């Protein structure tokens, strides 16, 4: 048995039966990182000594007979836009060079409390602005299925780490598809929870009304376990929801008979790879075979989603990134006066894609253009949410593609922002409406994974996990998974 390949719940069972130790599990994953990281580049910062120390402490507690949480002893990777006390947090940007937070993000706190073993911080598009993990100030991350291809973004490092067995589970963040797109491209499970279901405290802000933290895992069961550990109200985040935290594993039953599944035609967009579209339709047909009631529907305002997103998200980014000025933390490039210092720090510290989005966002918020762009985008966002509200009066779940294509070659779209942004066409609606979305692997197209995306009403993670689990259990995806 290769311990680096097993799921968190399988590892947890073995740990509790004392058939393996947390130290053995952690060493197996660290050895896999050593073997493959020179090709994959999933990590920015690795913490092997701290991981071994944490694993030894978990073994001591197991030996003492403690009843530990489900994630105790499980090696986990964290996207490098999550604050980690004592571990540098760069957001893959030069402007945070040398920054070491004095506190943990709430999600990280909760993972530590659950006994998870932190392996390090994973690569991302700078400040989570990208769809391919090529816009990192350090290096691009490669797709473990084919290192000449992108892993998706912006949580590409986290997805690649799980797919390459360099982490048992990982956390990412999702502003417009940044968990779900890498999940699809790398053949793993990705869950973007309802906006506010997981505290954003300590998540470095990109689009504050859109961002949400969630898990990337090898199967649906692991996603349920991680969500149970990190969800819940946090008084330090005023947008976090005061909803009870449930054990989402209780939702994992193979019975979906009677569930109503809608298929919005608008998500099968012009230019979609026909083989990807066919794979998604076959997956939806499988859900119907399992007993769900499947019917077509329409979300007519979906056509406004991408344009609205690329107004709202840069506007919020422009505001959020104003704090990086060379004064408080991170990079500082001196100048003849404070204004030159500001300008030179930001010029050197930010990459091209971040600068592009800051400029777009500043423009759309400026006098004379705010009403024409930002206000109109917010109106479109309202229409998109209303479409979903009507759809969920009729359906429990919507089943759609995650991306128009499989993973594309590194460098293929980096000079074409419009082509890169079109990668997000099937994912941005979820963030605009604050909904949960689950991606489960469903097929291989030309030897590369395709993810089925399941969308639900606010707070319906249990239903998404139920239907995702049923679909996962019905197929033979594991036989085709990268090992």
Q: Which residues carry out catalysis?
A: 79, 154, 178
d(CA 87, CA 285): 46
Q: Can you read off the two tokens belonging to residue 470?
A: 């049923």
398 strand-pairing partners: 262, 455
Tallying the residues shown for the chain, one arrives at 483
All residues at 6 or more sequence positions from 24 whose CB lies less than 8 Å from its CB, including other chains? 3
Find out whether 217 and 7 touch, Cβ atoms under 8 Å.
Answer: yes
Torsion-angle region of 115 (φ positive above 0: left; ψ -120 to 50: alpha; else: beta): left
Following DSSP, what letter does each residue of 28-80 receive, concatenated? HHHHHHHHHHHHH--EEEE-HHHHHHHHHHHHHHHHTT----TTTT-EEEEET
From residue 383, how far is each of 86, 191, 298, 377, 402 by CA, in Å?
A: 44, 24, 13, 10, 21
d(CA 234, CA 213): 14
d(CA 43, CA 41): 6
d(CA 118, CA 68): 17
All residues at 6 or more sequence positions from 66 whose CB lies less than 8 Å from its CB, including other chains? none
All residues at 6 or more sequence positions from 352 whose CB lies less than 8 Å from its CB, including other chains? 135
From residue 91, how far is each of 95, 112, 120, 320 by CA, in Å?
A: 9, 21, 13, 13
From residue 227, how far is each of 28, 70, 107, 311, 438 by CA, in Å?
A: 25, 11, 10, 30, 12
Radius of gyration (Cα) for the chain, nearest Å? 21
């Amino acid at each position: 048995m290769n311990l680096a390949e097993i799921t968190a719940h399988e590892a947890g069972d073995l740990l509790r039966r004392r058939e393996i130790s947390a130290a053995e599990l952690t060493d197996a994953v660290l050895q896999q990182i050593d073997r493959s990281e020179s090709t994959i580049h999933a990590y920015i910062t690795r913490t092997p000594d701290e991981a071994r120390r944490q694993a030894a402490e978990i073994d001591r507690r197991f030996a003492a007979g403690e009843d530990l949480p489900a994630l105790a002893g499980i090696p986990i990777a964290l996207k490098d836009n999550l604050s980690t006390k004592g571990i540098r947090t760069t957001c893959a940007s030069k402007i945070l060079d040398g920054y070491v937070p004095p506190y943990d993000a709430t999600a990280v706190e909760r993972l530590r409390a659950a006994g998870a073993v932190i392996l390090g911080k994973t690569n991302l598009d700078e400040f989570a602005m990208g769809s391919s993990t090529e816009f990192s100030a350090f290096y691009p991350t490669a797709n473990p299925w084919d290192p000449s291809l992108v892993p998706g973004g912006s949580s590409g490092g986290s997805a690649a780490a799980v797919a390459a067995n360099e982490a048992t589970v990982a956390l990412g963040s999702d502003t417009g598809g940044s968990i779900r797109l890498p999940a699809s491209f790398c053949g793993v499970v990705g869950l973007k929870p309802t906006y506010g279901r997981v505290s954003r405290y300590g998540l470095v802000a990109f689009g504050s009304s859109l961002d949400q933290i969630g898990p990337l895992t090898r199967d649906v069961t692991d996603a349920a376990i991680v969500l149970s550990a990190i969800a819940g109200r946090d008084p330090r985040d005023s947008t976090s929801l005061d909803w009870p935290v449930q054990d989402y594993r209780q939702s994992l039953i193979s019975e979906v008979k009677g569930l109503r599944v809608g298929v919005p035609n608008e998500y099968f967009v012009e230019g979609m790879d026909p083989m990807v579209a066919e794979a998604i339709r076959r997956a939806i047909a499988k859900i119907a075979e399992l007993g769900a009631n499947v019917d077509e529907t329409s979300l007519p305002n979906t056509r406004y989603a991408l344009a609205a997103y690329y107004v709202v998200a840069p506007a919020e980014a422009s505001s959020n990134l104003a704090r990086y000025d060379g004064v408080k933390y991170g990079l500082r490039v001196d100048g003849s006066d404070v204004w030159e210092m500001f300008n030179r720090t930001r010029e050197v510290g930010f990459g091209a894609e971040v600068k592009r989005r800051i400029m777009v966002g500043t423009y759309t918020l400026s006098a004379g253009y705010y009403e024409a762009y930002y206000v109109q985008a917010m109106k479109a966002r309202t229409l998109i949410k209303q479409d979903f509200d009507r759809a969920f009066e009729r359906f429990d779940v919507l089943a759609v593609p995650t991306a128009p294509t499989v993973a594309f070659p590194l460098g293929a779209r980096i000079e074409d922002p419009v082509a890169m942004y079109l990668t997000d066409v099937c994912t941005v609606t979820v963030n605009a409406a604050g909904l949960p979305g689950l991606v489960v692997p469903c097929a291989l197209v030309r030897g590369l994974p395709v993810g089925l995306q399941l969308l639900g009403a606010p707070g319906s993670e249990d239903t998404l996990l139920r239907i995702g689990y049923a679909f996962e259990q019905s197929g033979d995806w594991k036989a085709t998974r990268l090992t």
